[in-house]
Amino acid sequence: MATPRAVLFDVFGTLVDWRGSVIAGLSAFGAARAITADWAEIADSWRRAYRPSMDRVRRGAVPWTLLDDLHRDALMDIARRHGIGPLDDEDCTQLVQLWHRLVSWPDVVSGLDRIKRIAIIGPLSNGHLALQVALAKRNGFAWDVTFGSDLFRHYKPDPEVYLGACDLLALPPDQVMLAAAHNDDLAAAASFGLQTAFIARPAEHGPATGDRAKPSGPWTFIASSVDDLAAQLGA
Amino acid sequence: MATPRAVLFDVFGTLVDWRGSVIAGLSAFGAARAITADWAEIADSWRRAYRPSMDRVRRGAVPWTLLDDLHRDALMDIARRHGIGPLDDEDCTQLVQLWHRLVSWPDVVSGLDRIKRIAIIGPLSNGHLALQVALAKRNGFAWDVTFGSDLFRHYKPDPEVYLGACDLLALPPDQVMLAAAHNDDLAAAASFGLQTAFIARPAEHGPATGDRAKPSGPWTFIASSVDDLAAQLGA
């Protein structure tokens, strides 16, 4: 398989530690308001709402909705269930913005800088463009191209995201690689003809990560970090 | 006026010396084929076809067409008129690709790196995304966000481009600045509520540039280079 001309990265979990960052942000919010709660459970609940909320958009049950707004709706519901509400508008905005300030895993910036020498690099995430720009600024991701779900008005694993990115890059899918910590994302990418790289993130879901951090398909590359992927690509 | 949260840049002429780069590329092409021609005049003719060809798209006389394809159509016509044709498909592709390899003015990379410290930076060009990515890779433009005309399926000065970029950034227009060497581009941006910065490029059209390199409106900033704009912005 030839070296890809572009390597696109899933972001939540693959590049940034959403769980650790959201728990830290929620805990700080709670401390400032003297609210005690199981912030880890709240973070995990918030993330569990992610897939079903996007799936409602994907099957047309609700119109196109940005991830910030999906996050906001889920948060209000979770806050009610965990007895930490009601949250006012400003609280919600502040907490939804936690997803714009997620911290990257330690191997990411150096790995991206290496891969950038041999390929076009960019995010291919369900986050929208403004969120991707914020995460890149926050962490120093030196993207060559910035994709966001709002460019396609589709969420992964819809084909419009993967093939839309290839089309905008004017590259055939077999010259584009998706790197992700999630087997289902890679399975979709592979089904549309992209190369694939699994990046193991055994801490993504905390102690409950389990087999989700293990590759389950015939991915083009299997790596332990972005730096490791860079090395395997000869970058 | 508050410091803009994002500074978006026109590209052809403002950041890259399209004329010098295209003349050099055409001359090399001619030398390799022992074709003699007035390459400067051909480059200028090619550029003169730019605005009318986009205007045909803008008023709906032809469907959405990428700049590469507009460039290709114009080139075939110009080659015929200048007696350097017929060009075959491969020749055309090679020459159209000259616009993906334009060289930046010497102040650009350092100026962008400075402005990047205080704002989101990105291109806002009539070139499509793949072309912007190629120019950024070629020249080292460290964009935070990459816009291309194909994201909007509109050409400047259509409002969809300027306001579409603000919308994707989730910023109100008055927190976004367009920096450009062209008064008409800035006039459109200002009419949609963006801040404006004129960057003088007295060599853009060679000896014939004349008053086109002079600001003709009440732009927020008037600068002699991207570095100068960085200094005026306090970056």
Instruction: Out of A100, A120, A138, pick the residue that ends a domain.
Output: A100
**Amino acid at site B190:** A
Query: Quick one: what percent of chain A has pLDDT higher than 70?
Result: 100
| Per-residue pLDDT tens digits for A23-43 | 999 999 999 999 999 999 999
Q: What pLDDT is recorded for position B1?
A: 74
User: How many other CB atoms are found less than 10 A from the CB of residue B214?
Assistant: 12
Q: What pLDDT is recorded for position B2?
A: 87
Q: What pLDDT is recorded for position B86?
A: 79
Task: Kindly state the tokens that stand for A96.
Answer: 């939804």
Chain B residues inside the 8 Å CB shell of A133: 120, 144-145, 169
| Per-residue pLDDT tens digits for A63-86 | 999 999 999 999 999 999 998 877
A137·B145 Cβ contact <8 A? no
**Does residue A19 register a pLDDT over 90?**
yes
**Band of residue A1 on the pLDDT scale cut at 50, 70, 90:** confident
Residue with tokens 């936690």: A98
Can you tell me whether residue A225 is helix, strand or coil?
coil
| Structural domain includes residue A70 | yes
Q: Which domain holds residue A71?
A: 18-100
Chain A residues inside the 8 Å CB shell of B143: 143-144, 146
Chain A residue with CA closest to B131: the answer is A169
Domain count, chain B: 2
Ranges in chain B, pLDDT < 70: none
Q: CB-CB: which of A133, A136, A145 is closest to B129?
A: A145
A136 touches chain B (CB under 8 A): yes
Chain A residue with CA closest to B136: the answer is A144
Query: Are A136 and A109 in contact, with CB atoms under 8 Å apart?
Result: no
| Structural domain includes residue B39 | yes
B134 touches chain A (CB under 8 A): no
Average pLDDT, chain A: 96
Give ∠ CA B167-B170-B173 in degrees, rounded to 5: 65
Instruction: Out of B73, B100, B127, pick the residue that ends a domain.
Output: B100
| Structural domain includes residue B1 | no
Chain B residues inside the 8 Å CB shell of A168: 128-130, 148, 150-151
Q: What pLDDT is recorded for position A131?
A: 98
Query: Quick one: what percent of chain A has pLDDT higher than 90?
Result: 97
B125 and B66 assigned to the same domain: no
| Per-residue pLDDT tens digits for B82-97 | 988 778 999 999 999 9
B148 and B70 assigned to the same domain: no
A181 and A114 assigned to the same domain: yes
A12 and A59 assigned to the same domain: no
Task: Kindly state the tokens that stand for A173.
Answer: 């899918």
Q: What pLDDT is recorded for position A71?
A: 97
C-alpha to C-alpha distance for B3 and B5, rounded to whole angstroms: 6
Query: Are A98 and A22 in contact, with CB atoms under 8 Å apart?
Result: yes
- How far B105 CA lies from chain A's nearest CA (Å)? 20
Task: Kindly state the tokens that stand for A130.
Answer: 């403004």
A120 touches chain B (CB under 8 A): yes
B112 and B190 assigned to the same domain: yes
A150 touches chain B (CB under 8 A): yes
B142 touches chain A (CB under 8 A): yes
A146·B145 Cβ contact <8 A? yes
- Enumerate the β-bridge partners of residue A222: A198
**Does residue A89 register a pLDDT over 80?**
yes
B126 and B207 assigned to the same domain: yes
Chain B residue with CA closest to A166: the answer is B130
CATH no. for residue B60?
Answer: 1.10.150.240
B151·A168 Cβ contact <8 A? yes
The beta-strand segments (E) located in B15-72 are: none
Q: What pLDDT is recorded for position B19?
A: 98
Chain A residue with CA closest to B121: the answer is A133
Chain B segment 167-196 residues within 8 A of A by beta carbon are 168-170
Average pLDDT, chain B: 96
B144 and B161 assigned to the same domain: yes
- How far B5 CA lies from chain A's nearest CA (Å)? 12
A216 and A194 assigned to the same domain: yes
Q: What pLDDT is recorded for position A51?
A: 95
Q: What pLDDT is recorded for position A70?
A: 97
A182 and A227 assigned to the same domain: yes
Query: Are A168 and B66 in contact, with CB atoms under 8 Å apart?
Result: no
Chain B residue with CA closest to A140: the answer is B144
* Nearest to B68, CA basis, from B31, B34, B94: B94
**A&B contacts, CB < 8 Å:** 46
B63 and B118 assigned to the same domain: no
Task: Kindly state the tokens that stand for B164.
Answer: 């579409």
A151·B148 Cβ contact <8 A? no
CATH no. for residue B162?
Answer: 3.40.50.1000
Instruction: Out of A82, A100, A118, pick the residue that ends a domain.
Output: A100
| Structural domain includes residue B115 | yes
Q: What is the dihedral of CA B126, B129, B134, B137, to 10 degrees?
A: 110
C-alpha to C-alpha distance for B187 and A65, rounded to whole angstroms: 33
State the sign of the Cα–Cα–Cα–Cα dihedral B184, B187, B193, B194.
positive
Q: What pLDDT is recorded for position A84?
A: 87
B127 touches chain A (CB under 8 A): no
User: How many other CB atoms are found less than 10 A from the CB of residue A164?
Assistant: 18
Q: What pLDDT is recorded for position B85?
A: 74
Q: CB-CB: which of A137, A142, A146 is closest to B146?
A: A146
| Structural domain includes residue A203 | yes
